[in-house]
Structure 1
Amino acid sequence: MREKLRHSFRNLGLGLLCFTVAAQQVAHAQSQDSTFNKKALNDSARKAVKSSYSFQQPDSKIPVLFGTQRKEQVLQSQSLLSGNELLSFPVAQIEASLYGKFPGLYLVQSSAKPGEDAPSAALRGRVPLVLVDGVPRNLNSINPEQIASVSVLKDALATSIYGMRGGNGVVLIETKRGGIAPRRISFTAQTAIQKQLNIPSFLNAGDYSSLFNEALANDGKQPVYSADDIAKYRNGSDPVRHPDVDWYNTIMKEKAALQRYNLNFSGGNEVARYFVDLDYLSQDGFFVSDPNRNSYETNNSFKRYGFRTNIDADLTKKLLLSLNVFGRIRNGNEPGGVDGLLLGMTGTDLIYTSLFRTPNNAYPVLNPDGSFGGNQQFTNNLYGMVIGSGYRPGYNRNLGVDLSLKQDLDILLKGLYIKGKGSFNTYYSELINRSKSFAVYDYMPNPTGTPIINKYGTDGSQNNGSILEATNRQIYTELFLGYDHVFGNHEWNASLNYNKDSFTNRTDLNLDNSALAARLQYNYSKKYFVELVSSYMGLNRYPTNKQWGFFPAAGLGWDISKEDFLKSFKALNTLKLRATYGKSADNSGAGNFVYRQSYGGSAAVFFGNPATSNGSMIEGTLANPNITWESVNKLNAGLDIAALDNKLQFSAEYYRNSYSDLLQQRGTNASGILGNTRPNENIGKRTYSGVELMAGYYGKTGDMNWFVNANASISKSKLDFIDEVTQPYSWMRRTGLPVGQAFGMVADGLFKNQAEIDNSAKVDGYKAVPGDIRYKDLNGDGVINVFDEQAIGSTKPMVFYGLTAGFNYKGFEFSMVWNGVTNRNVMVNGPGTYEFQSIGVGGYGQAFAHHLDRWTPETAATASYPRLTVGTNINNQRNSSFWLKNGSYLRLKNVEFAYSLPQSWISHIKLDRARIFINGTNLLTITPLERVDPEVVAWDYPNQRVFNVGINLQF
C-alpha cells in the first residue's frame, strides 16, 4: 500500500513539476511587460467584487452547455455564481458552499462524516447531472480556488442539447484559466475548529435505571434494579458494578481540527496563459485517541491532496490549444471493528450506532486492572471500539487530462471555427482492513478473595487485508463546429457537435452515451430572440432498436426595454420576457442490459439414486425488453429586469416539468405470486412545478461597496401515476399527492385512562393501555389498522430561500449567507428518539432526557411522550403524525469578516495583497424542531459548527 502511495505521489509530483516549470517560464517571459501596472490590477479587483455576487453586465459571457452566451442573449433558465463566493465557506466538500445561492437548488446535508459530508442536491425536485469543464464528473476532484463559476441549468432550452442525460438539469462547473496579466502567486492558509451540533442528552445511570424499571412494570414485568442499585448509580460509590459513564464525552472530543492550504499561480501573455493550483485539506474526526496504546491513528479523518494545471497556448494566430491536467488523492481513516448483529457495520457508523444503544450504566470504561469493561449483554466496549479495534484506512485517487484544439476558419467563412476535445479520467478506490478484535471482562470484586472475572470475546491479532472498492475509467470525446456572425441588426450563432462519453467500471462492458447536437440562435437588434436546440442521443444499455431518441427545444425572447416607446426610461436597462419549451430525458436508471434475462449461480441440486450434485442456475429479476429512458416535457416562462445601470436586477420564473415513463415496479401484481421479482418498467408519471424569484442590488456609498442578493423558490410536485394497488378509501391513495408525501396514522393525543380506551376504536393486534398513543378511526369501523393511514403533515408546496449580503470599506469586508425552508416535514423517530432500543442485548438500550416527560398516571394531563416500554412497541412506534414534525428552519449558514492590509504596509516586502479573514458556518439555526438538527434528522454523524481563521497572500 505504501508503495502505491509513493508511486502516486511521485507521478503527481512529476506532473506538477513539469507544468509548474512551464508556467514559470511563460510567466518570466512576460513579467517585465510594462503594459501591466498596479492600476490595472486594482481595476480588475474592483470588477471582481461586483461580479462575485452574480451581477453580470449585458455583455458578460455566461457559460452554457458547449459554449458561452452573452447575458443579453440568454433565454434559458440559468443561474450563475462566481467561484469567489465559495471561498468564504470553511467546508471540505464544494456542494456545502452552495446553500442559499441558487433558486431551484435544494440541499440537505444528512451526515457530516469526514469525507462523506457532501449534501444531497435536488434541482427542481430531481438530482442534477454535474459537469466540470463540460465533462460529466463528480466534484471530489475540485477545490474552491480552482472554480471560476458555477452555473445551474434548469429548463429544456438549457439542457435538451444534452439529450437523455439533461432531463434533471445540470450543474456546470468551469475552472479558472490564466489571462493576459502579470504573474500572480496566491497562497492561502486556514485552520478551523469544528464543534458538533445537537448533541443528544443521554440519561445518567440513576435516571436510566429508574425509568427502565418503570418501563418493565408497564410491560407487566418485574424490575431489575433495586433501590440500592439506583442509589449506588446516583452516588457513584461503586463505579465497577454500578457505573455511570458519560459515554459521549468519554469517546468524543469537544472539538476537531480542519486545515486547508492552497497555492496557485496564474498569468500569461498573448502567446500562452496558465493557471496552476496545489491544494491540501485535512479534516479530523471527534473520536479520542490513545498514543500510549497504539502506534497508529484510530480517529476518523479525511485528507485530500489535489492539483490542477490549466494552460492555453496560441500555437498560431488561428489555432488555440487548451490543456487541463488535474488529480487528487483522498485518504480516509476510521476505527476498526465489525458487528454482524448491526448489519455488518464497521468503524465510525458502528460506533455512532452503538452509542445510541449503550446506556450509561452498561459497564465501566475500564476495570480496576485496566481491561475493557463489559458483560454478557454488552460484549463490545465503546471505548475499546474507538481505541482498541485497530483501524480501517481508505485510499482513492483520480487523474484526469483534458485536451482541446480550436481552429478559426475565417479563411473559409468569417465567424466559422472548429474545435476538438478529448478527456481521459481514471479512478481507483481501495479499502484496507487492519481491524482487530478485543475481549471485554465482567469484573466482580470479591471482598474475601480474588475477584471473579468473566471474559467475553477474544483478543485477536490485527488483520491486514484490502478490498478493491472501485476502479473505473472514462474517455470523453467531442467535435464541435461553430459559427458566430453579425449582419447589421441580425446576429446569428450556430453550432453542431458530436460527443461520446464512454465509461468503464472494472471489467464491465463500456457504458456509452453518444450524441449529435445542434444549436441555432438569432436576434434582431438585440430586441427579439429565437433559439432552437436539439440532440439525437443513444445509449448502448437499451435494446438495439430502442437506443436512440430525439430531444428538441425552442425559446423566444423579447427585450421590451429596447423598444422606442421605453427609450425615455433611461433607468431601465432590461425588461425581457422569455419562454422555452422542449423535451429532454434521463437515462441514469438504464441498468446493466436489463432487457436480457439474467441468471446466477444457485445452491447445489442433487439428482439420481444415489444422489449426485449438479450445478444449477437461478433466474434473476425478470427482464424488461421494453425498457427506455425517462422522458420529460419542460415549460419555462421568465421575466428579467435590470435597472439603474444594471445595479438592480430581478428575475421571476414559472416552470412545469412533466415526467413520464418513470421506472417503477408495478404495484398491482405481487412478486410472491410470480415467484420472482418484477422488473422496473416505464410506467410512472410525475409533475414538478413552481415559481422561482431572484432579486439583487449592488451599490456604492462613498468608499463603501455593498450588495444584497436574495432568492426564493416555491416547489410543488405531484404523483400523476404510480400503478398503486386499488385502495378501498380515497385517503389511502398516493396518486395525486406530492412526491415523497409522508403517510401514517393520525395521532389524537395519549390515552389518559381506561375509560378512554373502552370508548375508542380498538387497535388491530394490540391491546392499548393508558399512556399509549390514540389514533383516529378514519373509516369508522371501530378498528385501527392500515385502512386508517392517510397523508400526514403539510401537503403545501415547499418554499426554500437564501440571502447573501455584504460590503467592503477601506480594506474591511463583511459577508453573510442565510438559507431556510418552510412547509417541510421530517419524521423524528428511531433509536435516537425511542427508548431502550437495542440489537442483541435484551432491550437494555439507551434512553434520553426527553423520556423524563413520559406519560405516567400523575402526568397524564401534561405528558409529551407516551408511556415507556422496553424494545419495540407496535402501537406507539408506528409512523404517525405524533412523530412527524415541522422541519422548517432559518440558518445563518456563513459569515466572514476580512481585512486587507494597506498597500503602504506591505509593498516593501513585495506583496500585492495580504488579506486576513475569519469565517464560520452553521452559526445560528432557528427552527421549531427540538433535539435534532433540521438536516441530520436521523441521528447520523452530527452536523457541525465551524470557526475558521486564515490569511491570503498575493505576490
Structure 2
Amino acid sequence: MNNYYISILLMVGIWCPLASMAQEPASGRVDDQYGYGLAFVTIHDQAGVSHGQTDENGAFTIALADTATLVFRLAGYEAVRQFVRPGQQGITLVMGPDSRTAIVDLAFGQQAHHAVTAAVATVSSTVLRETPVPTLSNTLFGRLPGLTVMQGSGEPGYDAPQMLIRGKGTYQDNSFLIFVDGLETPFDQLSVDEIETISVLKDAAALSQFGIRGANGALWVTTKRGQAGKTRITLNARNGWQQPIALPRFVDAYDYARLYNEALQNDGLAPRYSSDELEAYRTGEDPYLYPNVNWYDEVLRSYAPQRDASLTFSGGGQTARYFILLGYNRNEGLYANTDRDRVENSNADFQRYNFRANVDMQLSKYVSAAMDLGGRIEDRYFPNFNGPQLWDNMARFPANAYPVRNPNGTWGGNALFFDNPVASVLDRGFNSSTDRNLMATLRLTEHLDFITEGLSLRQTVAFNNWHRGNYNKTRNIAVYELSTQTGEDGQQELIYRQHGTRTDLSIDQGGNDQWNRTNLQFSLNYDRNFGVNGISAQLMYYQDVYAVSGNNVPYANQSVMGRFHYGYADTYFAELGFSYSGSERFPAGNRFGFFPALSGAWLVSNEEFLKGSTAISYLKARASVGLLGNDRLVGPRFAYQQDFYYSGNYYFGPGNNSFGTIVEGVPGNPDISWEKSLQYNLGVEATMYNRLDIGLDAYYENRWDILATDDGTVPSYVGLGSAYRNMGEVNNWGFEATASYRKALGDLTYHVGGSVFYSRNKVVAMNEVVRAEPYLYRTGHPVGQPFGLQADGFWEAADFDGSGSLLPGRPVSTFAPVQPGDIRYVDQNNDGLIDENDYVAIGNAFEPALSYTMNVGGAFKGLDFQVFFQGTGERSLFLGGTYFWALQNDNNIPVMALNRWTPQTAGQANYPRLSTLPNDNNYQNSSFWMRSGAMLRLRNVELGYTFPRGWQQKLRLNNLRLYVSGINLATWSSVQGTDPESIGGYPPLKSYNVGLTAQF
C-alpha cells in the first residue's frame, strides 16, 4: 500500500474519535410562495458534502449529528442558508426579499437572484468536483454558458486551456479579467475544494464597474467561508491514472523504406533502399542495422498517475467563523524510465500545496472584519529539452532512423536526426522551478445603522506576491551513428561515428522571476427597503498596482465605480452601473474614461395574472445596454511616446572605426486610446411545472477604436513602421440557451439538461493592405477567418503532354512545377496562374463558434451517477507540418499517406503523391488540408455510493461517499490520428479515477 493511502487511513483514524454522536433526523420544507420553483433543490453543507434534495413539494428530511449550516441550491444559485439542529422538525424556509434568497455573486457585491438585471452564469464547486483534473480551469468545459474553453497541452503544470467569453470581440487581445474574492489574480492553481462558486460576467450590466478593462468579460471566483456551528472536518481524496486521448500514427520501418523509394522514383531519382535492405526491415532480423523503432512506445509509459487530497475545517460562533484548507495535488508525466530521485533526469512532474484561511469576525456591534490568507507552493520538473521539440522529434524521426541504443550501449543517432528522443529525456539532466504565491487580504466593514439603516463603509487592502526560483541540472550528449565495414578477416565490423560531445552535469540556479500586486478598495454601501421599494447602492474607489520584475514601471489602474439598484414590489428592477476608470498605458490627460450601463428586469411571475400558475412558476425578462473599454493594446507599451533604441554600429574613417547608433522606433501617437465596446443583452429565465428550467440570452456588441497601423499602405522606403492608430471595428453577436428537467419517481430522482452557446463576429474595418482581388480582403469576414487555395482534386496523367508539360488551358502553379498526383487548385481570377492571388476564405476560424452540452444524472437510495457530454462546432483545423506532411523537411510518413496517389490508386487516393523534394505546391494552406474541428466529447462519467447512515454512525462519520469517474473517455470527430482540440505537442489526457469524501 503506498504512502498516499496510508496517509488517508491515518487521517481517518485520527479524526474519527473526534466525530460527533449518532445522527438524528431533521425535517422541513422550502416555501415556494414567491414562485421560484424550488422543488428538487439540492442540499449540502459548507464543505460541499451532499445531504440530498427536496421532493416535488419542497419537503426534506435529513439526518444530522450536530448543528450545521445547510445550503439549499437551485441551478447553481444559493436559495437559502439555514442553521439546522439534529432533531429539529417543521422547519420552513421562506423565500423573501429580506432573506438570503438565491444569492448571486456580482462584481464587488451580491444580489438576490430574482433581482439580478445582468447576464451572469454561475457554477458551484460541488459541480466542479465532478471533473477531477489538476488545473481548475479544466473543470469549466461546458459548465458556464458563454464561456468557451479550448483544450490545450496535457503537460503537468502547463495544461491550462484557452478561454474566451462570448467569442471574439476584437482582432487584437481578447483575454479577460479574473478576480478571486474581489482581487485580480490567476486562479488556475487554486484547489477546487477552496472554491465556493465561479461566475462568468458577460454583459455591460455585469461588467460596468470594470470600465476601461471590462469589454472582454470577467470570471468572478469566490472562495469558501466558515459558518457558525460545530467544527466540520471534511476529507476529500482522489487517485487517478492518465493516458493520451490520441497519439499520431506513423508507418513502420519497412513501409517507410519502400515509400521513400517510391518518392525518389516520383522525383526521378535512384532508390535509396535495396531489395535486401527492404527484406531486412520487413523481417526485423537485425534491430541495430535495420531498426524498427516506435518512438512513442520507447519514450512514453502506458499511464501516468495523478492524485489530490484536501482537508478542510469550517465552523465557529457568532463572533468568529473560519474556513481552513490544506490541499495537495500531484500530476506525473508520461515519460518512461526516468529517475524518481532526480539524480540524472526527471519525468515531467507537477506538485502543488494549497493552503487557505478565511476568517470572519464581529469585532463590535458596528464593526466586522475579514482576514484571508491564501497561497500555494508549486514544484515543476521536466526533462532538459524543449518540450514541443521533443514531441515534434517523436513524430518526425522515422522508425528506421537508428536504434535507441547501439550494441555497445551508446545512444543511437545521426547528423540528420541528432536528438535521440529517449536520450533527450534520460541523459540531458532536468530543469525545475519552484513557485511561491501568497495573497493576504484584510477587510473592515463599519455598519452605520445608527446614522441611517442599511448604510455601511468597507475598506479592503490586499497584497499578492509570486516568486519563481529555478534549479537546473543539465548537460550535452553524444550520439553514435552505426554503420559497417569489411574487416581484414572478411567479416562485417560495426563502426560508431560520434556526433556531439557528452559533458558533465552542470548546475544553474539563475533566471528567477517575481511579481507583486497591491490593491486598495474603499466603498460606501447602502441597502434598504421602504415598503414595496428597495434600494441598493454602492460607490467605490479602486486602485491596483502590479509590479513585474524586469519592468521599471508598474502597471497601474484606478477607478471610481458604482452601482445603483432599485426594485419595486419585488417585481420591477432597474440598475445603473458606472465606472470612471483609467490606465497608465495612455498619455496624461487621456487616461480616464466614463463607462455607464443601464439595465432592467421584470419578474413577470409576480404579476397577479401569473400568481398561482402551475404551468409557469417563475418567469423573468431582463435587458441591458452599456459602454465598456479594452486597454489591452498591441505594440509598444507606451505607444503614445516616441522611442529611440541603440541598434547596430556605424563605420567610418580610415581605420573603419565603429560607433553605436541610435535608431528611431515606431512613431508615437499622442492621441492613442482604448477600444470602445457598446454591448446589448436580452435575457429570459423561466421555470415551468416546478421541473423545467429554461434560460435564454441574446447579445450584440459593436467594438471600435481597435488598433491598426498603416504598414499595409505606407511604402517600406519610408524607413520606419507606422504608428498604431484607433481605426478598427468588429461586430460580435450570439446567443446562449440552457434547459434542465428534474423529477422524482419513488426513490429515484433524476435530471437531464443541456446548453447551447453560439457566437459570431465580423471585421468591419482593420485598415488592411491593398489587395489584388476583392475576395482576398479579410475585412467582412470573422476574426481569424482562414484563407487558402481551393483544392480541386489531383492532376492526372491526361492533363499533361508527352514531355510532362501541362496542356494548354490548365492553370500553371507558381509555387512549384506539378506532375500527376499533385494537388490541383481553382484559378479564382482566371489569370492562368495559381498563386497567392487565388487565396479565398475557406472553412471556419480555429475557435469554435458553437458549443453545446448534454448531461444526465440521478440518485437511487445510496447510488448516484452523472454523465456529461460537451461538444463544439463551426470550427476548422489545418492538418499541416510534422504530423501530416510526409517527407517534407525530413518528416516521417503518417499512416494517412498510405492512401497516397499513385497511377494505380488515382481514383481512390486522398493524399498527394510522395516526394522527397520540397513541394511548395502540395503543402500550401488549402482546403485539401482543412478538416472540420467539430467534435463531441464524453467529458465526465461518475458513479458514487453514499454509505447507509447506520454504517456511518458505526464509523462515527457524518458522510462517507466512494466514487469512480472517467474524464474524456470518448471523442467523436472527423479528425483521425490526433486530438481535434490540440494538434501536436504533449497531448490532452483522459483519466480514470477513484475517490472518497468523508466528513467528521
CA displacement at 1:224 relative to structure 2: 1.4
Which residue of structure 2 lines up, in the alignment, with residue 899 of structure 1? 945
CA displacement at 1:749 relative to structure 2: 0.8
Distance 1:862 1:579, change over 3 A: same
Q: Among residues 210, 214, 226, which one is paired with 1:162 in the alignment?
A: 210
Which residue of structure 2 lines up, in the alignment, with residue 487 of structure 1? 530
User: Is 749-758 or 242-251 further displaced after alignment?
Assistant: 749-758
For the pair 1:411 / 2:445, whether they are aligned, the reply is no
Distance 1:139 1:835, change over 3 A: same
CA displacement at 1:73 relative to structure 2: 0.5
CA distance in 1, matches of 2:440, 2:22: 34
Q: Among residues 439, 444, 453, which one is paired with 2:496 in the alignment?
A: 453
Within a 5 Å distance, the mapping from 1:182-201 to structure 2 comes to: 182-201=230-249
What letter is aligned with 2:826? K
CA distance in 1, matches of 2:610, 2:342: 76
Q: Among residues 650, 653, 661, which one is paired with 1:605 in the alignment?
A: 650
CA displacement at 1:665 relative to structure 2: 3.1
**Could you say which structure has the higher helix fraction?**
1
CA distance in 2, matches of 1:121, 1:43: 30
CA displacement at 1:602 relative to structure 2: 2.1
For the pair 1:244 / 2:292, whether they are aligned, the reply is yes
Within a 5 Å distance, the mapping from 1:73-222 to structure 2 comes to: 73-126=115-168, 127-222=175-270
Within a 5 Å distance, the mapping from 1:569-588 to structure 2 comes to: 569-588=613-632
Q: Among residues 273, 278, 294, which one is paired with 1:225 in the alignment?
A: 273
User: Is 794-803 or 541-550 further displaced after alignment?
Assistant: 794-803
Q: In 2, are the aligned partners of 1:164 and 1:587 still within 8 Å (CA)? A: yes
Q: Among residues 529, 532, 549, which one is paired with 2:573 in the alignment?
A: 529
Q: Residue deviations 1:737-785, cap 9 Å, x none?
A: 1111111111111112242642521112422100011111111121111
What letter is aligned with 1:762? V
User: Is 248-257 or 283-292 further displaced after alignment?
Assistant: 283-292
Q: Among residues 51, 57, 74, which one is paired with 2:73 in the alignment?
A: 51
For the pair 1:783 / 2:783, whether they are aligned, the reply is no
CA distance in 2, matches of 1:36, 1:512: 55
Q: Among residues 813, 819, 822, which one is paired with 1:763 in the alignment?
A: 813
Which runs of 5 or more residues in structure 2 are unaligned?
1-14, 29-41, 46-50, 54-69, 80-94, 96-100, 169-174, 801-805
What letter is aligned with 1:746? Q
Query: Structure 1 length normalisation: TM-score?
Result: 0.92
Which residue of structure 2 lines up, in the alignment, with residue 810 of structure 1? 861
Q: Residue deviations 1:128-181, cap 9 Å, x none?
A: 211111111111341110110011110001001111111111111100000122
* Runs of 4+ displaced beyond 6 Å: 31-43
CA distance in 1, matches of 2:972, 2:73: 31
Q: Residue deviations 1:375-408, cap 9 Å, x none?
A: 2323222221110111111222211111101111
CA distance in 2, matches of 1:947, 1:210: 40
Distance 1:953 1:215, change over 3 A: same
CA displacement at 1:622 relative to structure 2: 3.0
CA distance in 1, matches of 2:22, 2:519: 41
Distance 1:46 1:611, change over 3 A: same
Within a 5 Å distance, the mapping from 1:541-556 to structure 2 comes to: 541-556=585-600
User: Is 883-892 or 690-699 further displaced after alignment?
Assistant: 690-699
Which residue of structure 2 lines up, in the alignment, with residue 267 of structure 1? 315
Within a 5 Å distance, the mapping from 1:890-929 to structure 2 comes to: 890-929=936-975
Within a 5 Å distance, the mapping from 1:331-410 to structure 2 comes to: 331-337=379-385, 346=386, 348-410=387-449
User: Is 316-325 or 416-425 further displaced after alignment?
Assistant: 316-325
Q: Among residues 938, 962, 985, which one is paired with 1:940 in the alignment?
A: 985
CA displacement at 1:898 relative to structure 2: 0.7
Which residue of structure 2 lines up, in the alignment, with residue 880 of structure 1? 926
Within a 5 Å distance, the mapping from 1:459-478 to structure 2 comes to: 459-468=502-511, 470-478=513-521
Which residue of structure 2 lines up, in the alignment, with residue 627 of structure 1? 672
Query: Structure 2 length normalisation: TM-score?
Result: 0.88
CA displacement at 1:640 relative to structure 2: 1.5
SS at match of 1:603: strand
Q: In 2, are the aligned partners of 1:649 and 1:695 still within 8 Å (CA)? A: yes
Q: Residue deviations 1:535-578, cap 9 Å, x none?
A: 00011121001100000000122222222222352442322221
Distance 1:697 1:50, change over 3 A: farther
SS at match of 1:544: coil
CA distance in 2, matches of 1:726, 1:440: 51
Identity across aligned pairs (percent)? 32
Q: Among residues 851, 858, 875, which one is paired with 1:824 in the alignment?
A: 875
Distance 1:53 1:921, change over 3 A: farther
SS at match of 2:211: helix
CA distance in 2, matches of 1:290, 1:111: 21
CA displacement at 1:848 relative to structure 2: 1.6
Q: Residue deviations 1:798-842, cap 9 Å, x none?
A: 32111233112212111121111122211121110111244xxxx
Q: In 1, are the aligned partners of 2:902 and 2:913 still within 8 Å (CA)? A: yes
Q: In 1, are the aligned partners of 2:371 and 2:441 still within 8 Å (CA)? A: yes
Which residue of structure 1 lines up, in the alignment, with residue 895 of structure 2? 849
CA distance in 2, matches of 1:774, 1:941: 34
SS at match of 2:904: helix
Distance 1:49 1:96, change over 3 A: farther
Q: Residue deviations 1:506-541, cap 9 Å, x none?
A: 142121100001111111101211100100001112
CA distance in 1, matches of 2:958, 2:208: 45
Which residue of structure 2 lines up, in the alignment, with residue 504 of structure 1? 547
SS at match of 2:547: strand
For the pair 1:792 / 2:866, whether they are aligned, the reply is no
Q: Please provide the CA RMSD for this pair.
A: 2.5
SS at match of 1:111: coil
CA distance in 2, matches of 1:292, 1:315: 51
Which residue of structure 2 lines up, in the alignment, with residue 716 of structure 1? 760
CA distance in 2, matches of 1:930, 1:267: 52
CA distance in 2, matches of 1:754, 1:541: 63
CA distance in 2, matches of 1:766, 1:669: 29
Distance 1:617 1:42, change over 3 A: closer
Q: Among residues 328, 346, 349, which one is paired with 2:376 in the alignment?
A: 328
SS at match of 1:145: helix
Which runs of 5 or more residues in structure 1 are unaligned?
1-23, 338-345
CA displacement at 1:114 relative to structure 2: 1.2
